[in-house]
Structure 1
């Protein structure tokens, strides 16, 4: 995700703890998907991604190796930022982190 996207999420959903790949407390830019999945597993973080190409295969292998994830929210192609923010605001306000374990959902809803 772009720095603008992360900053916009932080501005509109202040209770959402947003980091992006490349931030100081996150994996560096260009980190392979497999490593990102391991990081998310260990850090207890939900992934918001536009990656519809390689992530599904990496996720299949991650599960085959006994991994889990804390939720994956995949952004629909062509989605408007306003609609993404609305969906994430609903997710943040109406659920707990544990509700998303091993769940994959398209956003906006």
Structure 2
């Protein structure tokens, strides 16, 4: 299955518009869209949604997300992956990284993992 991204509600919608402009076939949703969890949904519920729907979560939550992922995995669940962005990178740099990942990754490469962007650090 192709990579799909679910953007955390705290990320700028510019990420989606730039990702889709660069790759029109890429599926990118933002928490609060009609077909995804509403704004204010708890992180554990978002991880379950990502698992069920095959989306990689893109977030800026470096504090609590590792604990949420550990709890998620400990309960026998899985997730396609979590990418945590670097607040010091521009939107353009992050978009470049996310597009590169889509083009260069194999299926399930990021399953059950948190990766901190940029990957090339």
TM-score (ref. length: structure 2): 0.82
**Structure 1 equivalent of residue 70 of structure 2:** 60
Select the structure that is richer in strand.
2
**Structure 2 equivalent of residue 96 of structure 1:** 106
Q: Unpaired runs of 5+ in structure 2? A: 1-10
Contact 2:85 2:118 (C-alpha < 8 Å) held by counterparts:
yes
Q: Over aligned residue pairs, what C-alpha RMSD do you find? A: 1.3
Residue of structure 1 aligned with 2:92, choices 75, 82, 85: 82
Q: How many residues align?
A: 109
Q: Unpaired runs of 5+ in structure 1? A: none
Aligned ranges 1:16-55 → 2 under 5 Å: 16-55=26-65
TM-score (ref. length: structure 1): 0.90
Select the structure that is richer in helix.
1
SS of structure 1 residue aligned to 2:116: strand
